Amino acid sequence: MSESALLSHGNDFGSGRMGGVGEENGGFRGHQQPKWFTPRRVLVLFCCINLLNYLDRGTIASNGVNGVPGDAGCKKDETCFHGSGIQGEFGLTYFQDGILSSAFMVGLLAASPVFAHLSKTLNPFRLIGVGLSVWVFATAGCGFSVGFWSITTFRMLVGVGEASFVSLAAPFILDVAPPSQSSSWMSIFYMFIPVGVAMGYVYGGVVGGALGWRAAFWIESLLMLPFAVFGFVSDRIYLKGSLDKLQAIPQSDVEVADVPTADEVDSGVHEPLGGDGVNNKASALLPGGLLSDIKELAMSKVYTTNVLGYIVYNFVLGAYSYWGPKAGQAIFNMGNADEVFGGVTILAGIVGTYCGGRFLDYIGSSLRNSFKLLGVATAVGATGCFIAFMSQSLVAFIILLAVGEFFLFATQGPVNFVSLRSVNPNLQALAMAMSTVCIHIFGDVPSAPLVGLFQVLLILTVNEKALPGPTTASRMKYF
């Protein structure tokens, strides 16, 4: 099939007529789609799940839930300051607090490639349901934790729960999105990352202050429960695939036996999601198959260049997102740091992420244009955030932070668009999984605890009394 024919086929399938293709016979190529299924409903469903995932990220970092440490050596029966939130109740150090913020990454990084590889032979919606069920259990467990190690363990399980979703959602969305709006749809999905984190700051501050930090986790768990159940009860979904071959998602593991032969695939009959002509379930699950796929990703210069840049981006953004509210509270004596950072991030995240995707669609969503947009937006955004934390005025700080975050979040849609479009369609889920692994294990996972450790070292070495004032001391510690 020619390139123009592929684009024409994609436009027919993704322009809102996806559910209507073959409607005269009640389904898609003789197969009935679920009654709930339309491309926009898939987008809305995944956006809601993404919102809750990142609401949890903001919640654990909020002052209302994370809290502040008590006075050194303060005992329970003494009248000294005992701290608040998780830090106060469990007596965490700055380094332990940084570890807590990154603990969920352990489960996420370990499970993401596994879920992505399993999606070649198992129903991805079922895999998402399994992952979200683990998430529900783990967030509820955070509320019942009794100390540093128990809550750290539950945070690791939260990462396992997220793994299936972060690997499989983006390929779903790219599959159903209208080709002329593919970057915009990706940006809408990733727009809920900053929105979720920002809402988590506000949610954690309000719920943690009113009901206690444990209640914040329990409510999260209840909110995600319906989505976990839906992942198990949803009927089979048929997708168009990213090339001329059509793809079908098995309803259950036992239906893998119905996968067509290679001749049937060539004649237009659909293959499993992520199918590459491999019809043997056992061979698809062999570790060697996974390693071979990872090697193929590593050989892609466009993909690896994109991921390397994304690693640096996430290292800086991870430190900003976790320590930003604390820095604002210390530097400017902001009693409402959670609300201020939450509001700025919500506004900049929504507008910036959406505008980034729309602008890429406007100039043409090619890999070359994507890299140009990523380079300019990252440079401008980093400069704005750097100047913001060096400013003397609270108003200037908020304005510069908003401008910086606008450009930083404008990269969310394009950077993931590149990760998906630069690899073969059957590797898209694994590409998202390995991108997630790399940007976290080398990016925002070490950044939060390293900044916390850096603060401890500065507190021990900097004599604040010798500095011009407490504001300057606070700047040095958090800078």
Residue 215 is predicted with a pLDDT of 94
Give pTM, 2 decimals. 0.72
pLDDT higher than threshold 50 for residue 19: no
Residue 244 is predicted with a pLDDT of 37
Question: Radius of gyration over alpha carbons of the chain, in Å?
Answer: 23
Structure confidence by residue, pLDDT tens digits, 320-378 = 777 777 777 777 777 677 677 778 878 888 899 999 999 999 998 889 999 999 999 99
Q: What are phi and psi of 68, to 5 degrees?
A: -135, 150
pLDDT higher than threshold 60 for residue 459: yes
Residue 284 is predicted with a pLDDT of 45
Residue 33 is predicted with a pLDDT of 67
45 vs 42: CA distance, rounded Å: 5
Strand 247-248 vs strand 238-239: parallel, antiparallel, or unpaired? antiparallel
pLDDT higher than threshold 50 for residue 319: yes
What secondary structure does DSSP assign to 300-340, as a single string? -HHHHHHHHHHHHHHHHHHHHHHHHHHHHHHHH--TTHHHH
Mean model confidence pLDDT for the chain: 77
pLDDT higher than threshold 90 for residue 34: no
How would residue 253 be classed by pLDDT, with cut points 50, 70 and 90? very low
Better pLDDT: 326 or 74: 326
Mean pLDDT of 215-219: 95
248 vs 245: CA distance, rounded Å: 10
Q: Is the dihedral of CA 287, 289, 295, 301 positive or negative?
A: negative
46 vs 185: CA distance, rounded Å: 11
Residue 76 is predicted with a pLDDT of 61
List, in order, residues 6 or more apart from 216 with CB less than 8 Å away: 59, 64, 65, 143, 203, 204, 207, 208
User: Which of 105, 125, 107 shows the shortest CA–CA distance to 45?
Assistant: 125
Residues forming beta bridges with residue 248, ordered by sequence position: 238, 272
Identify the CATH assignment for 7-77+84-478 out of 1.10.287.130, 3.30.365.10, 1.20.1250.20, 3.60.21.10.
1.20.1250.20
pLDDT higher than threshold 80 for residue 70: no
The residue extents of the domains of the chain are: 7-77+84-478
Structure confidence by residue, pLDDT tens digits, 406-446 = 999 899 899 999 999 898 888 888 999 999 889 988 887 78
